[in-house]
A and B are shown apart, each in its own frame.
Chain A
Amino acid sequence: MRFASPRTAFPLGVAAIAFAFLGLFLLYPLFNVFKASFYDPTGTTLTLANYAKVLSAAFYRAGLTNSLIIGVSATIATIVVGVPMAFCLARLPVPGKPLLLALATMPLVLPSFVGAYAWVLLLGRAGIVSQGLAWLGVPGVSIYGKPGLILVFTLQTFPYVLLPTLAAFKAVDVSIEEAGQNLGASRWRTFRLVTLPVVMPAVLAGGLLVFMETLENFGVPFVLAEDMPILAVQAYKLFIGEMGANPASAGVMGVLLIACTSGALLLQRYYLARRRFATGARGAPPLLSVGRGWRMASAVFCWGVVLLALVPFFAVVVISFMKFRGPVLTWTPGLDNFATLFARSQQPLINTLMLASAAAAGATLIGVPIGYVLTRYRSGLSHVLDVVAMVPFAVAGTVLAIGLVISFNSGWLILTGGWLILVLAYLVRKLPFSVRASAAILHQIDPSLEEASINLGVSPARTFYQLTVPLMAGGVIGGTILTWVTVASELSATVVLYSGPWATMTVVMFQALEGTSAGIASAAATLLIVVTVVPLALVHRLLKNRDVSVL
């Protein structure tokens, strides 16, 4: 790469800004988390004492093992659910497929802790369903604890496995299967020996996403784990408890979390580096003709999973329009919950809308040029940028937030207590998504269009803004809205970073969960669901005719 060449001025500029931003607000805070975990309380001597202290306490060791057990179980469960479902959707005549597919992506964007709370409303101690079951003589059914956590995580993250696997099943060249059968293998044998290995990389890629998401998720275990120790929750509690003092133990938990997630990420890269799953299929393979029994079974299975994942959200919306007497649901319709919620303050709703808009705009503004440089200017430098821009994937929101607080609560740049630190945290967390989404869109725009523009006398930077950005517009707007949606329901970094006047809807919900005001919590949950679903419907319309993978 020639640094003097005028052709590289634009990508170099983008890379410089990206490295400066990520260096300051991602790598530096993470470095401080590492540093805190390796120094003694006075901050002067290098030591492993913090690790010894944390790992010798049974309570914290349990947190690590619980997190790993739940993560691995949920990963296996999503594969067990997601792969057959992907096969059904790719190769069997499941009724209502387009709607089913649209609904199946919903669990990924709906706020996960709202889902967890909805499950509590249904299957908690005073849950509607568990009480009904107790009345029928089946007592003790509860969503709390490990099985509940695994169930909820599975229902919320199975699309991570379903979507790439479905794409892979559709990309399988049917002639490979035909060749297998032509050589005398049975249908099942062909599937096992020919089709399955081809889709395996997609399955594992999705599975590892599930593992990382499960490990770093804060809201779901906060709602469902009760007293059971979980890594992400412990890091938060340790840090909040130690605020102002030395965040050494929280740092250790953070480092452990990063170690687990980046281990998974490296495993995924290592595995995928040696395999490709495209087989050069020209069209999607044809549907299989199967008997009525199989058709029924596949329809019941696919629709069952999707409905089971979405019913709690529906239930919580319905419940929010019922009156509560204290924590007790009365089944009388009314808007009391919303009245109470807004009577207290409308500020959190406004905060959520404003912070999410700022963060989504920022992530797009930074993410699109990065995605552009990564796609159009391959070099050693862009490879490094690619890796750095993906780091936030492996970092739990809680850990990043802790790092930001340690780094910017004193010194030359003080950000704690304001809104900017929230926006920065969101921006960093959502950047990989924004970068990948714009790279996906760019792959569909022929580079010769940009060359034609430059050739006609327009500089590379102006070509980007004048030609490429308008061409990307549809996809970029879709990506921005999706970023907005996920920011609006972000919890794990928010709970660490927010301060009084900048509480968001998720914080209100979080506080309501800690207290006993179930009515307010359900109203807040409904608001969050609306804030998620309405923009999603917009995106769906916007991207209807585009083959842009947003995940």
Chain B
Amino acid sequence: MTTIRIAGVARAFGAVAAVRDVSLQIGDGEMFTLLGPSGCGKTTLLRMIAGFCDLDRGSIHFDDQRIDTVPPHRRNTGMVFQNYAIFPNMTVARNVAYGLKARNVPAAETGDRVGRALRLVHLDGYGERWPHQLSGGQLQRVALARCLVIEPRVLLLDEPLSNLDAQLRVEMRSEIRQLQQSLGLTALYVTHDQEEAMSISDRIAVMRAGNIEQLGAPWEIYGRPATPFVAQFMGTTNLLTGQITATVDGRTRVRVADQDFLVGASSAAIGSAVSFSLRPEAIRPLREGEAAPPGWAVLDAQRTRIEFLGALTRLDLALGGGGTLRVATIGLPPQALGSERMRVAYDPAGVTVFA
């Protein structure tokens, strides 16, 4: 149906560059997420597509039609706002019918389409309710129905779940994903929640200070972060910096404070500084006498903290030089960990090295 093509787009507010030279293409029927901390430019980019923010440079196309010069009310995008933006002076049905009225859809057809849209978001029978009678989750569904009913070319979602409680958030995000996939809509989703982004998206662009830091599928971004920023922003990680001391069997030995780590092959010269990311869950605690899998590196360290989180147990290990190595493990009760001195193992091939 619609592909979005963003080419060389930039916008500054006074001296602050909100978006600097961003180019990307969103495929037909794709759920694409802009992810980043507040102030990274993700909302500005979304608002540019909706037409609420002018471009300093660049262009935006829907398929072959240039739309950044089209006024916002003629772009036929459907936007879901962070605070839902449900018109408080209209019933649910009138809210949903609002966009159809603007398009001069006949009354009978409007009634049909509103009914269908409300069924789609599981709100049939709520048409005559007033917004103040609805819960946050229900308001969010009304907002969705109001967008879907106009059959928009693209669906724009601006942190739509951030005002909901945790459980509802998880429920709604899978519902949004299902709707988007079954309707085959091209959607742009903005969030600062990395878990939400990974669960819902086909592809993610991690943004920072107006630039795209990395673009890719969720597992690529999590598993192979392109920069230390991405590694730290996507979940928790051990971000370590050290000096290359040797190359052994296609692996690189890095000395961090007075602890040696093995990482995958690196082209950097011996003696040069390097940083790398080692995910906590990629480190496996070894039981008393247990052997490490072949090819894995083993560390012997002092445990300083145990945090039992139910499904997950977090451990802190003391590194030489005062550093801490974070470890996360599944299904391991604390008492099974043995003495405070313990061994852990990791696969050097799973370590991400930053040049």
- Do the two shown chains form a genuine complex with each other? yes
Measured CB to CB, the residues of A under 8 A from B are 2, 5-7, 446, 448-449, 451-460, 463, 467, 470-471
Rounded to whole Å, the gap between the CB of B219 and the closest CB of chain A is 33
Residue in B72, B76, B82, B89 whose beta carbon sits within 8 Å of that of A7 in the complex:
B72
Given contacts A7-B71, A446-B85, A471-B89, contact A456 B50 (CB under 8 A): no
A463 to B52, CA, bound (A): 14
Given A455-B77, A457-B76, A467-B87, 20 extra CB contacts under 8 A: A7-B51, A7-B52, A7-B71, A446-B83, A446-B85, A451-B50, A451-B72, A451-B79, A452-B81, A452-B143, A453-B98, A455-B72, A456-B102, A456-B146, A456-B150, A457-B73, A457-B150, A471-B87, A471-B88, A471-B89
Residues in B whose Cβ lies below 8 Å from that of A453: 87, 98
Q: Which of A446, A454, A460 has the most chain B CB within a 10 Å cutoff?
A: A454
Q: Which of A454, A455, A458, A471 has the most chain B CB within a 10 Å cutoff?
A: A455
Sorting the interface of chain B by its residue count into under 10, 10 to 19, 20 to 34 or 35 or more gives 20 to 34
Closest to B150 in A: A456
Rounded to whole Å, the gap between the CB of B303 and the closest CB of chain A is 41
Residues in B whose Cβ lies below 8 Å from that of A463: 73
Residue in A6, A448, A458 whose beta carbon sits within 8 Å of that of B81 in the complex:
A448
- Report yes or no: A458 in contact with B52, Cβ–Cβ below 8 A: no
A463 to B146, CA, bound (A): 16
- Report yes or no: A452 in contact with B87, Cβ–Cβ below 8 A: yes
Rounded to whole Å, the gap between the CB of B222 and the closest CB of chain A is 32
Residue in A446, A455, A470, A471 whose beta carbon sits within 8 Å of that of B50 in the complex:
A455
Cβ-Cβ contact count across A and B, 8 Å cutoff: 69
Q: A interface, by DSSP: helix, strand, loop or mixed?
A: helix
- Report yes or no: A454 in contact with B72, Cβ–Cβ below 8 A: yes
B48-94 interface (Cβ within 8 A of A): 50-52, 54, 71-74, 76-79, 81-83, 85, 87-89
Whether a CB of chain A sits under 8 angstroms from the CB of B99 is yes
Rounded to whole Å, the gap between the CB of B188 and the closest CB of chain A is 13
Closest to A1 in B: B54
- Report yes or no: A459 in contact with B54, Cβ–Cβ below 8 A: no
A460 to B99, CA, bound (A): 14
A467 to B147, CA, bound (A): 17
Residues in A whose Cβ lies below 8 Å from that of B89: 470-471
Residues in B whose Cβ lies below 8 Å from that of A455: 50-51, 72-73, 77-79
Residue in A446, A449, A451, A457 whose beta carbon sits within 8 Å of that of B102 in the complex:
A457
Q: Which of A452, A459, A467 has the most chain B CB within a 10 Å cutoff?
A: A452
Residue in A5, A448, A449, A458 whose beta carbon sits within 8 Å of that of B54 in the complex:
A5
The 6 A-B residue pairs with the shortest CB-CB distance, nearest first, are A456-B99, A457-B102, A452-B85, A6-B71, A448-B85, A455-B79
Rounded to whole Å, the gap between the CB of A6 and the closest CB of chain B is 4
Residue in A446, A449, A458 whose beta carbon sits within 8 Å of that of B73 in the complex:
A458
Closest to B156 in A: A455
- Report yes or no: A457 in contact with B99, Cβ–Cβ below 8 A: yes
- Report yes or no: B102 in contact with A458, Cβ–Cβ below 8 A: yes
B307-351 interface (Cβ within 8 A of A): none
Rounded to whole Å, the gap between the CB of B168 and the closest CB of chain A is 20
A451 to B81, CA, bound (A): 9
Residues in A whose Cβ lies below 8 Å from that of B99: 456-457
Closest to A2 in B: B54
Residues in A whose Cβ lies below 8 Å from that of B88: 449, 471
A452 to B157, CA, bound (A): 12
> Can you list 15 contacts pairing A with B, beta carbon distance less than 8 Å?
A2-B54, A7-B51, A7-B52, A7-B72, A449-B88, A451-B72, A452-B85, A452-B143, A454-B73, A456-B98, A456-B102, A457-B73, A457-B76, A457-B99, A460-B73
Rounded to whole Å, the gap between the CB of B172 and the closest CB of chain A is 18
Closest to A456 in B: B99
A7 to B75, CA, bound (A): 13
Residues in B whose Cβ lies below 8 Å from that of A5: 54
Q: Which of A446, A457, A463 has the most chain B CB within a 10 Å cutoff?
A: A457
A7 to B53, CA, bound (A): 9
- Report yes or no: B74 in contact with A457, Cβ–Cβ below 8 A: yes
